[in-house]
């Protein structure tokens, strides 16, 4: 696996919508890669990571109106059954003035053959004063793997992110330290796992997987970590309990929604590490409503993030 070591917090935006671009007609496709750098953050490195099925020599790649290359030159290329897979990685750090304005990837085909764009990822590494420390290994591969194992700093939090190509469905077990989950991968699919404590990690699929993109990280961040610990619905009232397992939050906001409709909102104010708070909402559930989504948004200085949980009614 071709990999690089990078310091800085990682932000990953991926589109797995398959885009087929015909040849001979200068056809183009646009892929929104919505990303916004936190105010006050400093961009360290940025990469555009593409996976393509098919053979072509004449493509143009743009971020917004900024041309990255006149011709595709794959970093990796390999036959996979009846198709040819190619990996393209562009260092787009110099185009940060474009990246920070809701970037759109545009690919123009000027060749005679069609190609399928299987994966489009924008991978950003940035620093923010007082945020903490983070270290990541970022790699790409076109070689099938039966298992993937490694280790992360056991004294820090750990994270795995991957885009995999496989024969679907593929039941897969993922582990970092004491954290474990099972998932089912589609033909081209994402996998994410985070754990408060790192240590050894493993990815064990039932069928071989190709790690098109793989990122493993260890970090110790001075950010809140809001956990939606309880949700209880009774007599038209929904009570939500949250706990802060990270650093102090300047404000925590709860938003209740269903089918895109906001049903309630509450500000909990500051939350110290280990503190627990609750809020109650009047919710009228109809027979078609199986539950609601709860989003807990934390704010610290100019940073913000959120976690979500589905609560059955």
- The backbone region for 301, taken as left when phi is positive above 0, alpha when psi lies in -120 to 50, beta otherwise, is left
In terms of C-beta density within 10 A (0-12 exposed, 13-18 middle, 19 or more buried), how is residue 289 classed? Answer: middle
- Tokens read off for 44: 């360290």
* Amino acid 108: pLDDT: 82
CB 190 within 8 A of CB 165: no
Which residues on adjacent β-strands are paired with residue 21?
115
d(CA 127, CA 18): 32
Task: Report pLDDT digits (tens) over 201-258.
Answer: 999 999 999 999 999 999 998 999 999 987 888 888 999 999 999 999 999 999 999 8
Q: Domains in the chain, please, with CATH? A: 1-137 (2.60.120.1200), 144-222 (3.90.209.20), 226-312 (2.60.40.10)
Local structure of residue 96 (DSSP, 8 states)? H
Question: Residues 252, 226: contact at Cβ < 8 Å?
Answer: yes
With helix as H, strand as E and coil as C, how does 188-212 read?
EEEEEEEECCCEEEEEEECCCEEEE
Q: Is 137 exposed, middle or buried (0-12, 13-18, 19+ CB in 10 A)?
A: middle
Contact between 51 and 165 (Cβ < 8 Å): yes
The model's pLDDT over 57-111, given as tens digits with 9 standing for 90+, comes to: 677 888 877 887 656 678 999 999 889 999 999 888 887 777 766 788 888 877 7
Please tell me the least confidently modeled range out of 37-41, 183-187, 234-238, 309-313: 37-41
> Distance (Å, rounded) from C-alpha 220 to C-alpha 155?
9
Which range of 99-103, 116-120, 302-306 scores highest in mean pLDDT? It is 116-120
What pLDDT score does 109 carry? Answer: 79
**Does 280 or 287 have the greater pLDDT score?**
280
Confidence (pLDDT) at 2: 57
Residue 54 region by backbone torsions, left for phi larger than 0, else alpha for psi between -120 and 50, else beta: left
């Amino acid at each position: 696996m071709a990999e690089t070591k990078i310091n800085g917090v990682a932000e990953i935006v991926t589109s797995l919508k398959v885009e087929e671009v015909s040849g001979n007609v200068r056809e183009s496709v646009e892929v929104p890669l919505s990303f916004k750098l936190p105010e006050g953050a400093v961009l360290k490195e940025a990469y555009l990571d593409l996976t393509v099925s098919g053979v072509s020599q004449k493509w143009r790649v743009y971020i917004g109106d900024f041309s990255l290359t006149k011709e595709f030159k794959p970093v990796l290329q390999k036959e996979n059954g009846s198709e040819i897979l190619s990996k393209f990685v562009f260092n787009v750090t110099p185009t940060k003035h474009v990246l920070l304005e809701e970037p759109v990837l545009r690919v123009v085909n000027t060749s005679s053959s069609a190609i399928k764009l299987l994966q489009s990822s924008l991978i950003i590494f940035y620093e923010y004063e007082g945020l903490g420390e983070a270290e990541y290994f970022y790699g790409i591969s076109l070689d099938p793997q039966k298992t993937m194992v490694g280790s992360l700093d056991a004294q820090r939090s750990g994270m795995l992110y991957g885009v995999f190509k496989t024969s679907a469905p593929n039941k897969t077990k993922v582990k970092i330290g004491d954290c474990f989950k099972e998932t089912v991968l589609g033909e081209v699919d994402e996998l994410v796992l985070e754990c408060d404590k790192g240590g050894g990690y493993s990815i064990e699929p039932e069928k071989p997987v190709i790690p098109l993109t793989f990122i493993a990280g260890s970090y110790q961040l001075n950010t809140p970590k809001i956990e939606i610990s309880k949700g209880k619905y009774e007599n038209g009232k929904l009570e939500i309990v949250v706990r802060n397992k990270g650093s102090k939050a300047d404000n925590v906001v709860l938003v209740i929604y269903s089918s895109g409709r906001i049903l309630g909102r509450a500000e909990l104010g500051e939350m110290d590490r280990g503190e627990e708070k609750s809020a109650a909402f009047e919710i009228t559930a109809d027979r078609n409503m199986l539950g609601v989504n709860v989003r807990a948004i934390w704010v610290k200085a100019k940073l913000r993030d959120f976690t979500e949980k589905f609560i059955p009614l």
